[in-house]
Amino acid sequence: MEKETMQSLMRVAIEYRLRAYAPYSKFKVGAALLTEEGQIFGGCNIENASYTPTNCAERTAFFKAVSEGYFKFKGIAIVGGKEDAELQFCAPCGVCRQVMMEFCDPETFIVVLGTSVDDFKAYTLKEILPLGFGPEDLK
């Protein structure tokens, strides 16, 4: 994935972080998911007082994209941090990694983690989810 593309995704993720609903943890996360067709879907974390129904930014972006008919993805950028603090490198949780595994090729799907449009690191899904379990395992 080109640097300019990753920077664009970071911009969208930072924007969506501002929309997060995190009154309990005060930890806000934004995500920007890029489809194979070039569409970008943003997502933010949405908390709930009972915690279990809370949804992460990454899954929000995936579910929005899938609900609009997109099933193939190139990459995702993720930013996060405490409400009134600097952004920090924020890796996706295990549940989000598993959702990524459902829809993405672990060899080529890129996960961009960063603190700004100029400070980020890119990983393949396989690097952050070694030995992942996906649809291919059920064949």
Has this prediction a pTM greater than 0.85?
yes
Cα atoms in the Cβ-side hemisphere of radius 13 Å centred on 7: 6
| Whole-number average pLDDT of the chain | 96
Q: What pLDDT does 136 receive?
A: 86
Catalytic residue among 58, 83, 86, 136: 58
Mark whether 127 is an active-site residue.
Answer: no
Q: Which of 43, 104, 112 is nearest to 73 (CA)?
A: 104
| pLDDT, tens only, 29-86 | 999 999 999 999 999 999 999 988 999 999 999 999 999 999 999 999 999 999 999 9
What is the SS3 assignment for 127? helix
139: confidence class by pLDDT, cuts 50, 70, 90: confident
